[in-house]
Structure 1
Amino acid sequence: MTPQIVSINVGKPKKIVYQGKEVETGIYKEPVHRPLFLSKTQLEGDGQADLEVHGGPDKALCVYSANHYDYWEKELGQPLSFGAFGENITISGLEEEEVCIGDIYELGEALVQVSQPRRPCFKLSIRYSDVKLPVKLQDTGYTGFYFRVLKEGIIPENPVFRLVTKHAQGLTVEFVNTCKYHDKNNIPGIRIILANEALAESWRGSFEKKLAEAVDLSDPAQSGGVKE
């Protein structure tokens, strides 16, 4: 199936009350039907509440597969409109098992590159009153992913979306998610991930830390043992 953009969604942060505390969140996105300018850091009309974990050059656009919506409607017991997972781009025909870190796409006038999986945020729990929802996304692998912007430009209402360059390594978002959340001690896998120059810095740091810990444990001098 040829990937197609089915919805473009934006939303500004707003304050809500959660567990007796006021929380600011940009998780609420709504479809828009007009051209928008895509800058290096975000889409026109969009915003993020916590800039330490959302937005920025490596996370300019959050992307989610429309193919997952049927599953979540059954799981959550309610109909969902596009933008339901806080994504800017809802796309059909492109899932985590296919898209690779470093892949470059034409999106309207812009050029974008896959930078990392989406790390499910607790604010999804707020939106759907399900404290386990972020973990459910991790467990299913239906996390979505992010684009960084290589070339700014206008995104029209019905943009061209075309693969320009497939990254030679073939490192799928699914594989990165697996090593992050499930097969956490897959050191050869982590080395493969770290070999990808397009991986976002925040994820690179996380995997480098894991690799360093594994190396320390394998060294008797570091772990308190005695070398032969």
Structure 2
Amino acid sequence: MSTILTVNVGRPREIDAKTGTTGIHKLPVDGPVHVSAPGPKGTGGSGLAGDAICDRENHGGDDQAVYAYAREDLDTWEGLLGRELAPGTFGENLTTSGLDVDGAVIGERWRFPSGLELQVSCPRIPCRTFAVRMGEPRWVKRFTEHAVSGAYLRVLVPGEVRAGDAVEVLDRPAHGVTVSTSFKALTRHPELLPLLLEVPEFPDAERETVRQRLSR
């Protein structure tokens, strides 16, 4: 059964003088957390109540309201890095179990017991803040090569989420373009970029970036 192991939120914290303040240091919380659409990127932050998004120009907003990463994939990273990775280490809001997050199809809908409904929107692209947080050499390159990005989700129906919630996959679009495929297209395999333009649920901002890259 697919479940939520932990729900994780972060408070503003200065990571270093160059990076400034970030909410990437997320920790599990007890009890339910309200989730709703935060508004467009630039003004909207996280979809989770109490979760900080400090760089709203590049993170957060409706298409990146919630970030999910599978515990099974964190376990694989533990073996590769030789250290423990607690829930929330990657800055994920939802640490899942029994759910193939990177195999999820863009536009796939997840429903939770409270009635909360989320939709898979796009992969997570690693940034410098993530690299500083991890403290691993060549982290952005290594994360990109491993190509297990986790998924951003938008909020279709607001509600609450808590640890232990079951996740029901309501709908999986027929186009079949997964989080993994879209991550590879946006990073190391540009020959896959045309596929993203065929996905109606792919975010408009990322779609425009794809068009610009294909026109060069």
Same structural fold, with TM-score higher than 0.5 when normalized by the shorter chain: yes
In 1, Cα distance between equivalents of 2:194 and 2:64:
23
| Corresponding residue SS for 1:112 | strand
In 1, Cα distance between equivalents of 2:162 and 2:76:
29
In 2, Cα distance between equivalents of 1:175 and 1:112:
20
In structure 1, the residue matched to 2:210 is 207
| Corresponding residue SS for 2:125 | coil
Structure having the higher Rg: 1
TM-score normalised according to structure 2 size: 0.89
Contact 1:122 1:131 in 2 (8 A): no
Offset at residue 96 of structure 1 (A): 4.9
Offset at residue 136 of structure 1 (A): 1.4
Offset at residue 131 of structure 1 (A): 4.6
Q: Which moved more, 1:129-138 or 1:145-154?
A: 129-138
Q: What do you get for the CA RMSD once the two structures are aligned?
A: 1.6
Aligned partner of 2:88: which letter?
Answer: G
In 2, Cα distance between equivalents of 1:138 and 1:157:
29
Percent identity of the aligned residues? 31
Offset at residue 149 of structure 1 (A): 0.3
Give the 5 Å matches for 1:49-128: 49-107=54-112, 108-128=114-134
| Residues 5, 157 of structure 1: alpha-carbon distance in 2 compared, 3 angstrom cutoff | closer
In 2, Cα distance between equivalents of 1:25 and 1:97:
25
In 2, Cα distance between equivalents of 1:95 and 1:43:
22
Give CA deviations for 1:24-67 in whole Å, capped at 9, x if unaligned. Answer: 11110001111111010210110111001111100000111111
Structure 1 consecutive aligned stretches of length 4 or more whose deviation exceeds 4 Å: none
In 2, Cα distance between equivalents of 1:30 and 1:10:
6
In 1, Cα distance between equivalents of 2:19 and 2:10:
18
In 2, Cα distance between equivalents of 1:4 and 1:153:
16
Aligned partner of 1:199: which letter?
Answer: F
In structure 2, the residue matched to 1:191 is 194
In structure 2, the residue matched to 1:23 is 20
In 2, Cα distance between equivalents of 1:76 and 1:27:
19
| Residues 16, 112 of structure 1: alpha-carbon distance in 2 compared, 3 angstrom cutoff | same
In 1, Cα distance between equivalents of 2:85 and 2:193:
35
Residue in structure 1 matching 2:33, options 33, 36, 58: 36
Offset at residue 129 of structure 1 (A): 1.7
In 1, Cα distance between equivalents of 2:12 and 2:60:
12
Contact 1:5 1:89 in 2 (8 A): yes
In 1, Cα distance between equivalents of 2:121 and 2:89:
22
Q: Which moved more, 1:66-75 or 1:104-113?
A: 66-75
Aligned partner of 1:23: which letter?
Answer: G
